[in-house]
Structure 1
Amino acid sequence: MAKRISFQKGLSSVLFWSVISAAFIGPGTVTTTSRAGALFQGQLLWALTFSTLATILLQETSARLTIASGKNLGEIIALQYAGKKGKAIHWGIFLALAFGCAAYEAGNLLGALSGLGFLTSLPRPAITLTLGFLCAGLLWIGNYGFLARLLGMMVAFMGATFLYVAFFSPITPVSLASGALIPHFPQGSALLIIGLIGTTIVPYNLFLGSGIGTGQDIREMRLGIALAVMIGGLISGGILLAGMQIEGAYSFENLSRALTSTIGGWGTALFGLGLFAAGLSSAITAPLAAAVAGSSLLGAGNKETWTPDSRNFRMVWGTVLGIGVLFGMLNFRPIPVIILAQALNGLLLPFMAIFLLFAANDRTLLGKYANGFWANLFTLIIVGVTTLLGLHNIRLALDSVFHFFEEGALFPVFVTAGFSMALMIVLGFRVFEKEKADR
């Protein structure tokens, strides 16, 4: 009989893996989820339910690969793709991830600044530099456990803030259950559905989870990831419900006013603190994730040059953080760059999901910890949805520049959906045939 996990160990594991929640709940999540609530009430909660479950499965697979094999995700990729072609793949994945982290970092710091803007009238450049030095100091320490627990406490505070506000949302239990469990597609909601899924399932988090998972126990890891990501999903849901209270055009200011009218004069302070916590926690995890991805992908053959206190590691997170601070000082949100980053990460995510699917079925690598039938089935569904999401994001990015199709055109939707379905069928046939042969 398996030994039970003690409450203390379970709580410690949840706090440790809260770094994943801290990474995906940033200002972009606050914006997307609260806008979804403002425009469509609780009808899009199901997208958060799906993306939360998908995140749990993918993060568990990534961490399980590392714990069971003793190799991080980059080392496993190196085993599968060796030689010059393999190095090109490693660099391609790393540059796409680092580019995305740098683009999102600007939004993270500007989001934290927006939160502080509700609380103080200090000059933005001074606050930006202070936040930059704070993040740099925490990252310089290089202690994953300390950072993970600190971020876990920030997530707990942020969650308490938004969930308290969500308690006052005008939604019935029946509508809440319907929105969370039954897919709804109200007119004009496609972009927000994609945004809700894309803001939760983040490719660089797979490397972050793999990088910090070394030395963990599999049972504790599974409990920690499941509960930490579920808490993150609940917080995202709470933000969506809080957004239902907005009247008029969507903006942070109108959301703040709505909260003030609902819970009193301290609603503005609560929202400001919650937005600040979301921005600061993600401002720490985005540079860290880029550095961990670099260590995993580029340091497979020379680990000594990619330790947390190494020049390479610090150069990566320093560059990502520096770009964010620069845009914060200029008070400039690089929307075109972020759109391109979303397109690149949208394309990368299905590739990473497919790689995880095949790696998790490698019984020579994982033995008894290889995927079973249900894990494969659910991963295939995630591959299909993320492929659809990635292709749609790329199509939108191209359309914003070249205007290939009219707004609302159905043809590209059918093409991307058909391709995603065909890919699921082909991959499913290969995976289940291999599983049958290995029995």
Structure 2
Amino acid sequence: MKKSGPGMLIAAAFIGPGTVATCLGAGVSFGYSLLWALLLSIIITIVLQEISGRIGLTSTRPIPAILESMIPGKYAGKALIGLILLAIVLGNSAYEAGNIAGGTLGLEALFGSGAVAYYPFIVILLAGIILWMGSYKLLERIFTALVLIMSMSFILTALLVRPDLSALFAGLFYPKVTGDTIMTVMALIGTTVVPYNLFLYPALVRQRWEGAGNLSAMRRDIIGSVLIGGIVSMAILVTGAGTGMQQMESVLDMAKSLSPIYGTAATVAIGVGLLAAGLTSSITAPLAAAYVIQQSFGWAPDNRSWKFRLAWGGVLLIGLLSLTLNIRPLEVIFLAQVANALLLPLVAFLFWRMASDKQLLGEFRSSRTGVIAGLIIVILVGLLALRTLYRIFVS
């Protein structure tokens, strides 16, 4: 606990109900064959989040201001920031409904459906109280505990289904992309490599550490945290693959399918994991949106200011209101993750440019190896995005 850092908030942010639903769905539909996509996602996340953390420690300027200065033209930079701001705020608002719904499903799995109408308000109340306190240290401790709870819950569930190890390793190290799997591959990448986390982490890093002397601590923090999050995502996919289900309408279907074989242990494990995932993501989505708004408009970095609270409160409220609409949450989450992955090539390119900018980072800019690795990632996610667009508009 004492050695944890803001990386745990990043891990918690991408292990939300959307990740649970998408990874379970991938396992149910395609078995272990898409584990490689999660492995790729982990590598991309570590590379990009390390860049964002390095910028946070070695530059005093917020990310939006740096991006705006990189774009030539008086209005082009502002237009780019406006586009990113709109995408993140609207995307996080859309995700928030799924986050609250995920926490609600967790409570339903644990306590039954008798008081299900009140569960969303319990999740909102808990998230609102933690956000209102505005304490970074409190957030770090809560998220470290919740990530550990999620890890134990989902890894236990994966062990219960006794996965086929030969098929598991084949899916992990032999990548295959087909017309049927490309959308799910992009959703798996989009649910792990979350663009808003690239704006959230630098802000959190500045609250945790001061100066470039802490680069090694930051790197240990983000690599360890993302690896934990990636292992949890893989455990969820393995659970979906190991159950033998043919289709899944709700995450609770998974708990119901496991209960006859493994009893209440499976239901409790999935319920606890879902509740933790829903609660953490219900906090990080509005928090990240508020940070991006704060940085884009040049507000003072005060988590207790009325403007900052209004920003995250608006996202919470939109999420709660969205639950009253007759929308299938799994489909909305899936499409939002595909949209995330399509936005990723632009965001990855911009962060790659910043990481290799000598004027911005000086001696802390990326090495030649880092520049090449970043470029490979930009090209790779770009090709995947193009193939996805082809699938959407041509096939």
TM-score, normalised on structure 2? 0.90
2:160 is the counterpart of 1:171: no
Distance between the aligned counterparts of 1:153 and 1:394, measured in 2?
Answer: 39
Distance between the aligned counterparts of 1:87 and 1:346, measured in 2?
Answer: 23
After the TM superposition, which segments of 4 or more aligned residues of structure 1 sit over 6 Å from their partners? 334-337
Question: More deviation in 134-143 or 172-181?
Answer: 172-181
Residues 374 and 175 (structure 1), Cα distance of their counterparts in 2 relative to 1, 3 Å cut: farther
Q: Amino acid of the residue matched to residue 119 of structure 2?
A: I
Q: Give the CA deviation at 1:73.
A: 1.4
Residue segments in structure 1 that go unaligned for 5+ positions in a row: 1-7, 410-439
Q: Give the CA deviation at 1:391.
A: 4.1
2:293 is the counterpart of 1:320: no
Kept after mapping to 2: 8 A contact 1:21/1:232? yes
After superposition, residues 1-400 of structure 1 pair within 5 angstroms as 11-13=3-5, 16-81=6-71, 83-120=74-111, 121-185=113-177, 188-214=180-206, 216=209, 217-244=214-241, 245-251=243-249, 252-299=251-298, 303-304=299-300, 307-330=302-325, 332-333=327-328, 341-342=336-337, 345-392=340-387, 399=392
Distance between the aligned counterparts of 1:186 and 1:352, measured in 2?
Answer: 25
Residue segments in structure 2 that go unaligned for 5+ positions in a row: none
Q: Which has the higher contact order (CA 8 A, sep 6+)?
A: 2
Question: More deviation in 151-160 or 81-90?
Answer: 81-90
Kept after mapping to 1: 8 A contact 2:22/2:334? no
Kept after mapping to 1: 8 A contact 2:189/2:341? no
Q: Deviations over 1:274-309 (max 9, x none)?
A: 11111111111100010111122221xxx33x5211
Q: Give the CA deviation at 1:29.
A: 0.8
Q: Give the CA deviation at 1:394.
A: 5.2
Q: Give the CA deviation at 1:338.
A: 5.6
Residues 113 and 392 (structure 1), Cα distance of their counterparts in 2 relative to 1, 3 Å cut: farther
Kept after mapping to 2: 8 A contact 1:248/1:254? no
Distance between the aligned counterparts of 2:201 and 2:267, measured in 1?
Answer: 34
Q: Aligned residue pairs: how many?
A: 386
TM-score, normalised on structure 1? 0.81
Q: Give the CA deviation at 1:174.
A: 3.4
Residues 333 and 312 (structure 1), Cα distance of their counterparts in 2 relative to 1, 3 Å cut: farther
Q: Deviations over 1:383-429 (max 9, x none)?
A: 12322344455566xx5xxxx53xxx3xxxxxxxxxxxxxxxxxxxx
In percent, how many aligned pairs have the same letter? 37
Name the larger-Rg structure: 1
Distance between the aligned counterparts of 1:383 and 1:336, measured in 2?
Answer: 27
Kept after mapping to 2: 8 A contact 1:114/1:276? yes
Question: More deviation in 196-205 or 165-174?
Answer: 165-174
